[in-house]
Amino acid sequence: MSDLKFDINTTSLLQSLRLDETSDDAKTVLGLVEGAMKAAKPKAMFKEAFIDETGDDYVVIDGIKFSSRVLRVNLGEVHRVFPYVVTAGRELEEWSSGIDGMLEQYWADQIKEFILGAAYNDFITRLTAAYGLGTTASMNPGSLEDWPIREQTKLFSLIGDPLTGIGVELTDSCLMVPAKSISGIRYATEVTYENCQLCSRENCPNRRAPYDPLLWEQRYK
């Protein structure tokens, strides 16, 4: 998918940067947004995959074994999943690499984050509609101790060749390049799930759900 929508809500962006809309800094940010929107070509790659086998703390999907108790429990009775990688794209990385000044680079980084978020939302909306998934949730390797980041290599193998497909590759420590990318497994479920519910990290700016200290015991032990 290379035609993802990625409109930025500039009011939210300026609020997140704590900038007054009438300030000179805000004008600079809006100029950067214009440049970013012209440069950006976010993309997504995914596949429809099926669960072959499950154990207490693993799931085999299209022949590839993923080790995670949380993934195993969350997939419960699910038989079909959608592994994916969504990226803000190399074009946007190249755009931001030409920006001077620490403050401007920070603003550019936030703009890239907003573009990735918008593209990701569009991808999820389109995936859900195309496959009639109803409510869905995602799990992402590396976001919980239970599903370590080294499992990214398996996820990438499952999807195919994200480097050739959409320009995303993994470093030796399994981080994605470009960094403004999201990988995971999406699945249909009636049960509300966010990785953040199991993550006790304080003051995380990206938290999407409150930490539930009892959830591990109640649902996964």
Q: Least separation, in Å, of the C-beta of 160 and ligand SF4?
A: 26
- What are the φ/ψ torsions at residue 48 (nearest 5 degrees)? -90, 125
Give the list of residues 6+ apart from residue 199 with CB closer than 8 angstroms, or none: 143, 144, 207, 211
Nearer residue to ligand SF4 within complex by CB, 64 or 199: 199
End-to-end alpha carbon distance in the chain: 38
- Given the rule CB under 6 A, which residues bind ligand SF4? 143, 195-196, 199, 201, 204, 206-207
Dist. CA 202–CA 82, nearest whole Å: 30
Is 38 or 201 the residue whose CB approaches ligand SF4 more closely? 201
> What is the identity of the amino acid at 1?
M
Task: Count other C-beta atoms under 10 Å from residue 150's C-beta.
Answer: 13
**Minimal distance in Å, beta carbon 107 to ligand SF4?**
21
- Pick between residue 8 and residue 199 the one whose CB is nearest to ligand SF4: 199
Minimum CB distance to ligand SF4 smaller for 126 or for 207: 207
How near is the Cβ of 219 to ligand SF4 at its closest, in Å? 16
Helix (H) or strand (E) holding 51, with range, is strand 49-54
Minimum Å distance from CB 76 to ligand SF4? 21
